[in-house]
Amino acid sequence: MSENAVVVCTFEPGREGLPEGAEEILHIGRGLATALSAPLHWLILGPLPDRASATAGHYGVSSLQQMEDPKLLPSNADACVAALSGYCSDQAPQAVLLHQTLDARIVAPRVAGRLNKAVVMNGISIEPNGENLQLTASAYGGDTRVIYEVGPGPILSFIANAAVPDPSEGDPVSVENISCDLSEITERIEIIEQARFDGPRLDDAEIIVSGGRGLGSVDNYPLIEQLAEAMGGLAGASRPLVDEGWVDSSHQVGLTGRITRPNLYVAIGISGASQHMAGCSAAKTLVAINRDEDAAIFQYARYGLVGDALELIPELIRAVRDR
C-alpha cells in the first residue's frame, strides 16, 4: 500500500450541507485510490460542511482534513492557493482532485504553476497507467475526448456530473485539523460588488426548458419561461440568446455557461452543438423540439418532436396544464 494519498479538495461550503459536486468528486477519488491501493483523503479549505463527516465515511475517506482560517473563502484565491500549495509540498499527494467550479478553475492551475506540477481541466475519468496517471478529458467543446498522461502529484479538475451510486451516508470520520499560516497573505483582488442572485439556479434544477436561436425573436422567449413554469422548472438558453442580449448569462447552458444535470431537459430550437450539449448531456431525459429532423440534438434525445417551436410550445403549455 502506498503511503501517499489521493486527495480530494473542496473549498465551497455549498448550499445543501455539502460543497457542489463533492459526492461526485469523492466517487472519482475513491475509484482512483482503490486502483492505486492508496488512502483517500478529503481536504476541506474553510468551514466544515454539515454532512462532511458522514459523507466521508460513505466514500471510504480515511482522513478528513480541514484547514481553518477566516481567509479561506472560495473567492480568496491567494489564500486558497497558498493553503493548497503548502499542503501539497508537505504531504506530496499522488494526485489532487477538484470539482470544476469557477473558483477551482483559478486555484487549480495556480497551485500547479507554483509547484511546477501537471494540471488538467475538464476531466471525466482517471486511472493509473504504470507509474503515471491517465486522465480522459473533453476537448473541442465535447466533440472529442483526449487521454492525457501525467506524472506524480498533478492537480486535476473534473466535470464531475455522472450519477453517483447510492449516495447514502456511512460511519462518520473524525476531523483532523491541518495547520496553515496565512498571516502573510493579503488578497490582491478586491470584490467591489458581490454577484447577487438568490433565485434557484440552473445548476440545481430538476427540470429545465431551454430555448435557442430557433425561437426567431426575443419576443418569443417568454414562451420558454411559461412552459418552464408550467412544468415546474427553470428556463435556460443557448449562447446566441445570451450574446444577443435576449437573456442574461445566468441562463446560458453549456461549456462556458452552466453545467446542468436535471431529470428532464427540454431543448427547443437548439441545434445541438457540442458546446451546448456539454451543459446538458448529463440530463436523465432529454426532449428535443426542432423543425429540422436532421438536427444533431436528436442524436442525444430520448424523445423528439419535429415541428415549429412557436406552434408546439403553446400546445405543450396547454397539455401540461391539462394534467
Partner 1 sequence: MRIVVCVKEVMDPDAVNNYAVAGRLEIGEDGKTLTQTAIPRLMNGYDEQAIEAALRLRDEGADFTLAVISAGSDPEKMLKHAAALGAQELVAIQVDPESLDQQAFARLLAAQIETMGGADLVLCGRQASDDDQGVVPALIGEQLNMPVITVARAVALLDNQVRVTRVTSDGDQVVAAACPAVVTISNELGDPRYPSAAAKVKARRIKPTVVQPSDLGLSPEDIAPRVMLTRQFVPEVQGNCEFIQGEVAQMADSLIERLKADSIL
Ligand X SMILES: Cc1cc2nc3c(=O)[nH]c(=O)nc-3n(C[C@H](O)[C@H](O)[C@H](O)COP(=O)(O)OP(=O)(O)OC[C@H]3O[C@@H](n4cnc5c(N)ncnc54)[C@H](O)[C@@H]3O)c2cc1C
- Which residues of this protein are in contact with ligand X, per CB under 6 A? 141, 212-214, 216, 238-240, 252-257, 269-271, 273, 275-276, 279, 290-292, 295, 308-310
| Binding map of partner 1 across residues 66-95, x = CB under 8 A, - = no contact | -----------xx-----------------
C-alpha cell at 112: 500547479
Which of ligand X, partner 1, none interacts with 291 (beta carbon under 5 to 8 A by kind)?
A: ligand X
Residue from 14, 54, 119, 229 touching partner 1 (CB under 8 A): that is 119
SS3 57: helix
Smaller CB distance to partner 1: residue 67 or 301? 301
Considering the complex, what minimum distance in angstroms separates the CB of residue 199 from partner 1?
Answer: 9
Quick one: angle between helices 309-322 and 221-231, nearest 10? 20
SS3 176: strand
- Cβ burial of 323 (10 Å; 0-12, 13-18, 19+) is exposed
**d(C-alpha 289, C-alpha 309), whole Å:** 7
* Residue 264 and residue 233 in contact, taking contact as beta carbons nearer than 8 Å: yes
Q: Which stretch binds partner 1 (CB under 8 A): 47-55, 59-67, 145-153, 173-181?
A: 145-153
DSSP state for residue 5 in the 8-state scheme: P
Asked if residue 217 binds partner 1 (CB under 8 A), the reply is no
Smaller CB distance to ligand X: residue 64 or 104? 104
Residue from 150, 160, 173, 234 touching partner 1 (CB under 8 A): that is 150
Which of partner 1, ligand X, none interacts with 309 (beta carbon under 5 to 8 A by kind)?
A: ligand X
> Cβ neighbours of residue 243 under 8 Å, at least 6 residues apart?
none
* Residues 279 to 298 in contact with partner 1, rule: CB under 8 A: 284-285, 287-288, 293, 296, 298
Which of ligand X, partner 1, none interacts with 290 (beta carbon under 5 to 8 A by kind)?
A: ligand X
The sign of the torsion formed by the CA atoms of 273, 276, 278, 280 equals negative
C-alpha cell at 169: 451516508
**d(C-alpha 235, C-alpha 233), whole Å:** 7
Which of ligand X, partner 1, none interacts with 292 (beta carbon under 5 to 8 A by kind)?
A: ligand X
